[in-house]
Amino acid sequence: MNNIKNIAILGSTGSIGTQTLDIIDEHPERFRASVLTAARNWELLAAQARKFMPDKVVIAREEFLPQLKEALADVPVKVEAGDNAIAEATAIPEVDTVVTAMVGYSGLIPTVKAIEANKTIALANKETLVVAGEIITSLLKKSGARIIPVDSEHSAIFQCLVGEDRKNVAKIILTASGGPFRTKTLAELEQVTVDDALRHPNWNMGAKVTIDSASMMNKGFEMIEARWLFDCPPEKIEIAVHPQSIVHSMVEYIDGSIKAQLGVPDMHIPIRYALSYPERITSVREPLKLSQYSNLTFEAPDMNRFPLLSFAFEAIAAGGNMPCILNAANEVAVAAFLNRKIRFMDIPRLVEKVMKETPFISSVTLEDLVATNTEARSRAKSLIKH
Ligand code: MG
C-alpha cells in the first residue's frame, strides 16, 4: 500500500507555499509535492520543480509560460498556465491534499473546485471564507471534502476542539498580536509608512497579510473565517490582543475550562499539523521554551484606532455580499498603500466608502459574488484616482 500523501500547493512560491515545501522535504516518507502553482514567480517555481519533481506546475500569468517551459524542458514535469489550469489542477485524481496558499480573492474558485473533487483542503487562504463562507460551507456539506485550517489561530482552535463535543463550546477566544502599530495613537497612525507597516514584530509573512495585520483587518477576516470554520456565531468570538504571539488561540467551554494551544510563532507548526492530521509528526525545529516568556499578556482590541476590525463585525452581521465588498475594497486599498498611492489610514476610509456605495445583495450565489468582487474593486480604484 502506498501511504504517501500527494500534495498540490497553490501558491508554492509564497511564504506559506515555501514553508509547506520545507515540511514535505522533512518528511519524504509521508508527503510528495505533486502539483505546484504560482502567480508570476516562474524562476522560483522552476527551481522548486527541479528539486521536488512534481507531476505538474502551473503559472497563473500566461506571459511567463515560455520561460517556464524552457527552464523545465529537460525534466519530466508538465507545464501549464492560466487561472483555469490552476483550478483544474486541484481536481487531479492523484492529489490527496490541496494547500490553498495563494493571496486574496484568487483562492475562491480553486477552493470550490477542490471541494467539488472531494479533496482534503489545507486552507491558508482566509479570503475564500471571508468572501463566500456560506456558499463554501453548504458545498462542503454536500461533498466528501473537508477543510483543515492552516491559519495559526484556526489551527489552534481546531486542535483545542479535538475530542470535544461542539455543543459544549461557550466561546472562541481569537488571539491577535496587535501588529506593529498596537500602541500608536490615531494621530501617529496617520503618519506611518509602508516600511513601518511591513515590520511585523513576531511573524514573517507575505506583504498583503502583513499590512492586514498592521490594520487589524487580518483579525477581522480571521473572525469571519472562524465563524464559518467552526459554525460559531460572531457574538461568541472574542478577540484578545496578545503581543507575544505564543498562545495562538483558545476555546472556552460551558464548564468554565479554557483550552489553549501554544507554540513559537512559526507557520511550520500549523502547516505540519494540517498535512499530518489526524496524526502528529516530528519537527526538526526548536520548540517553545516557556521559561523565556515570563510575561504573557492579554488585552481588549481598540476598534477606534483599528476601524477595519469593527467593519468586519458589521459585514458579517449584514451577511450577503457585504463581506465580499469588504474584502475587495481592502485588497485594492492595500495594493494602493503598498504602491504608495494612499496613506495607511486611507485604507479604512476607502473600505467604508465602498461598503456604503456598492449595492447590497442579501442572498447571494457564487456568480453574484464574482460580480460583486469586480464591481467593488472598480469602485475602490476610481475612488483612489479621484
Ligand atoms: Mg493568522
**Averaged pLDDT, 157-175:** 98
Residues 337, 194: contact at Cβ < 8 Å?
yes
Residues 246, 263: contact at Cβ < 8 Å?
yes
* Placement of cell 519533481 in the chain: 53
**Averaged pLDDT, 254-277:** 97
Distance from the alpha carbon of residue 69 to the mean position of ligand 1, in angstroms: 35
Strand order of the β-sheet with 247-253 is: 237-241, 169-176, 247-253, 258-262
Q: Which three cell numbers stand for residue 231?
A: 459554525
Question: What does pTM read for this prediction?
Answer: 0.95
What pLDDT digit, counting tens, does each position of 75-108 carry?
A: 999 999 999 999 999 999 999 999 999 988 889 9
φ and ψ at 253, to 5 degrees?
Answer: -105, 165
Q: Which three cell numbers stand for residue 132?
A: 463566500
For the chain, percent helix, then strand, then coil, each to nearest 5? 50, 15, 35
Name the percent of the chain lying above pLDDT 70.
99
Rounded to an integer, what distance in angstroms lies between the CA atom of residue 368 and that of residue 135? 11
Q: Which three cell numbers stand for residue 162?
A: 479535538
What pLDDT digit, counting tens, does each position of 109-140 carry?
A: 999 999 999 999 999 999 999 999 999 999 99
Output the pLDDT for position 204: 82
Give the H/E segment covering residue 16.
helix 15-26
Distance from the alpha carbon of residue 152 to the mean position of ligand 1, in angstroms: 5
Q: Which three cell numbers stand for residue 86?
A: 490552476
224: closest CA among 151, 158, 334, 315? 315
Distance from the alpha carbon of residue 182 to the mean position of ligand 1, in angstroms: 16
What pLDDT digit, counting tens, does each position of 195-216 carry?
A: 999 998 888 888 999 999 999 9
Distance from the alpha carbon of residue 218 to the mean position of ligand 1, in angstroms: 7
* Placement of cell 503581543 in the chain: 243
Confidence of residue 282 (pLDDT cuts 50, 70, 90): very high
Average pLDDT, whole number, for the chain? 96
Distance from the alpha carbon of residue 382 to the mean position of ligand 1, in angstroms: 30
pLDDT at 332 over 60: yes
Distance from the alpha carbon of residue 248 to the mean position of ligand 1, in angstroms: 8
